[in-house]
Amino acid sequence: MDTFNLGDFTLRSGVTLPNASLAYTTFGTLNAARSNAILFPNFLGGAPEALETWIGEGRPLDPAEYFIILPGHFGLLPSSSPSNTPAPFDRGAFPAVHIADDVIAQRRLLSEQFGIDQLELVLGWSVGALQTYEWAVRYPEVVKRVASIAGAPQPSPWTRLWLRSVLEEPLTGDAAYHGGFYPDAQSMQAGVRRMAHGTAVTLPPLGFYREGEEAWKGLGFSSMEDFIIRFWEAFWLPHDPNDIIAQARKARAADPSGGGDLTEALGSIKARTVVVAFTGDPMFPPAECARDAERIPGALYREVVSNFGHLATFALSEADVKTVDGILRDLLAT
Amino acid sequence: MDTFNLGDFTLRSGVTLPNASLAYTTFGTLNAARSNAILFPNFLGGAPEALETWIGEGRPLDPAEYFIILPGHFGLLPSSSPSNTPAPFDRGAFPAVHIADDVIAQRRLLSEQFGIDQLELVLGWSVGALQTYEWAVRYPEVVKRVASIAGAPQPSPWTRLWLRSVLEEPLTGDAAYHGGFYPDAQSMQAGVRRMAHGTAVTLPPLGFYREGEEAWKGLGFSSMEDFIIRFWEAFWLPHDPNDIIAQARKARAADPSGGGDLTEALGSIKARTVVVAFTGDPMFPPAECARDAERIPGALYREVVSNFGHLATFALSEADVKTVDGILRDLLAT
């Protein structure tokens, strides 16, 4: 993973983060015309490896054809985050960050590091999709195509409530939290595990755990408890709680209109856009994604009939992967 | 509200609870033959008033015709609960209680207090329905009819996970909890509110909070936040946290087969049974309720097309109330 140093970076909140940085990984080679770049921002808590599963020869995101950049975002290590920022902005004092800050920093990475002024595609899953919408609205002259996958321009009221009560509150309510100045992440482990259980309840689609269905079996887990520990706790435990909170609050505040009229902002999108939703995703339900697509000129809406709902983000099913690959291939061909 | 003193009551766990008691309320008059009784156990955290909305002249639960008993259950005040039991079984030391304990205590209330050996109907919502199944299996010679409404013989794997991670863990994980020996319920208020937020995320059906739908508006709330505070926090705050935990653990362990074969237990039910489910109820989904009904000889299954899912338990919609009244009227007529 590489690091792009942003220097003293003034956030939308007005606070200047000294020595801010954005991590990134690239695949493929930038052509001479700098016209074959794809940007693929990450989701909340996403490791770059989670996105790398979508890249491969013969796949739509083919490194033989495209220069694919996986940029980090604030709050997700090793990009500037509460857990790696020195005082006075360390830990519980890390400033509020916005999706717009991520996208402005990513834009600088592209132009200053690579001289890129045009993107063949910006795509993202979930919180990555929040960033793609910000890209499409903020830099319409840069972005040719957009794919929002299991995402939206902003989280729904339910999803905002979820970010607060399922992600933040088990952490901020932990006895060790102390306004974010806990001695170390280990002391917060019980809270992180409680939070993990909340995600295990709320993220899989209804029926996932049902007797006779037990979808975790097909994923190689020996029991529901095994799935909860080795999938959910294992996913969250490596993350510093302040970092999770920073990302959750950032996602909650996502708004590509910057406090203006969202319908107008979406109406201004020039990119060829596809909005992809998954059956049973409570976070970004098909009905809501279809409505988002209607507000974007010429956007396509596609529902992937899936057994995994929002868990499709983890590329758990070969069928889902094939369907999404097909959608991306069609989009890149237009 | 009246109190039935159970004396020294030996629980299924083997522990004897001294001076145990069950609260109850009655409506109507027991006839000379003692043949017009209906039993209506309550849900988790339910006030008797919540059930009283289903009782009225001209309604199926007509006090002019039936003697209707609303019994309490362990963990729900003022019946024996962690918060009203003296040492050595007070607070965090209150013994594990089972749905079978509730039903055995309710059976004693009927026979010892009223000489009742026959019930025209046992009905219950949610955790009340867990009790109705226990009744139907344990006392087939007593129960003529059963209505399980937004309930099941036992909670599904998802619902068991929900009881643990949404109800228990925000409480047991609170800094003030101390194994249940917090100084007073006020000191646990932050945990109860966090728990209330978890129920606000998970209980309403998908779409309840959606922009343009905002079902809380029709219930007289001024905003989603207003609904979360005045509906959810207001519902949970009066309850002692140990009492909530006792009821949640009891619900999790519900099993009318007593650790045996559930299909066989349900197959032994003699009562005329109707299983009522609500569209969008994640707690007791229609697909699962339909499957329960298939395991009970001659049972009817009815799905109520509702906008409220599990919240139908709170009788929020006139349409839902009418539909349920119709189902109960038909059942009582058979």
Rounded Cα distance between A320 and A308, Å, is 9
Average pLDDT, chain B: 97
The pLDDT > 90 percentage for chain A reads 97
ipTM above 0.85, yes or no: yes
Strands A2-10 and A16-27: antiparallel
Local structure of B223: helix, strand or coil: coil
Quote the minimal CA–CA distance from A74 to chain B in Å: 26
Q: How far is CA A206 from CA A209, A302, A309, in A?
A: 8, 21, 9
- A236: number of Cβ within 10 Å: 22
- The per-residue pLDDT for B48 is 84
Looking at residue A236, its pLDDT comes to 97
For this structure, is A281 an active site residue? yes
Which residue in A has a C-alpha nearest to residue B203's C-alpha? Answer: A202
**Does the CB of A175 have a partner CB in chain B at under 8 Å?**
yes
Cα–Cα distance for residue pair A115/A108, rounded to 1 Å: 9
Does A166 contact B201 at a Cβ distance shorter than 8 Å? yes
What DSSP designation does A232 have? I
Residue A202 near chain B (CB below 8 Å): yes
pLDDT at A206 over 90: no
The whole-chain average pLDDT of chain A stands at 97
> Closest Cα of chain B to A110: distance in Å?
36
Give the Cα separation of B323 and B326 in Å (integer).
5
Decide: helix, strand or coil at residue B172. Answer: helix
- Omega into A286 within 30° of 0, i.e. cis? no
Q: Residue B209 is nearest to which of A156, A166, A198, comparing CB atoms?
A: A156
User: Which chain A residues have a beta carbon less than 8 Å from that of B166?
Assistant: 198, 201
Q: Spell out which residues of chain B touch residue A282, defining contact as CB-CB under 8 Å.
A: 206
Average pLDDT over residues A127-133: 98
The minimum CA-CA distance between A281 and chain B, rounded to whole Å, is 10
Q: What is the pLDDT of residue A289?
A: 98
Annotated active-site residue in A21, A79, A126, A148: A126
A126 is an active site residue: yes
A314: closest CA of chain B, how far (Å): 20
Flag if B165 and A282 touch (Cβ within 8 Å).
no
Are the beta carbons of A170 and B170 separated by less than 8 Å? yes
- Is B200's Cβ below 8 Å from some Cβ in A? yes
Mean pLDDT calculated for residue range A185-199:
97
- Quote the CA–CA distance of B130 and A255 in Å, as a whole number: 44
Q: Which of B161, B164, B166 sits opposite A209 (nearest CB)?
A: B161
Residue A296 binned pLDDT confidence (cut-offs 50, 70, 90) = very high
pLDDT of residue B23: 98
pLDDT tens figures, A273-290: 999 999 999 999 999 999
Cβ–Cβ of A165/B198 closer than 8 Å? yes
Does residue A178 sit in helix, strand or coil?
helix
pLDDT tens per residue across span B198-230: 999 999 998 999 999 999 999 999 999 999 999
Percent of chain B with pLDDT over 70: 100
Please say if the pLDDT value at position B246 is more than 90. Answer: yes
pLDDT digit string, tens, across residues A18-66: 999 999 999 999 999 999 999 999 999 998 889 999 999 999 999 999 9
What does the pLDDT read at residue A48?
84
Contact residues on chain A for B285, CB-CB shorter than 8 A: 206-207, 210
- Does residue B164 sit at the A interface (CB-CB below 8 Å)? yes
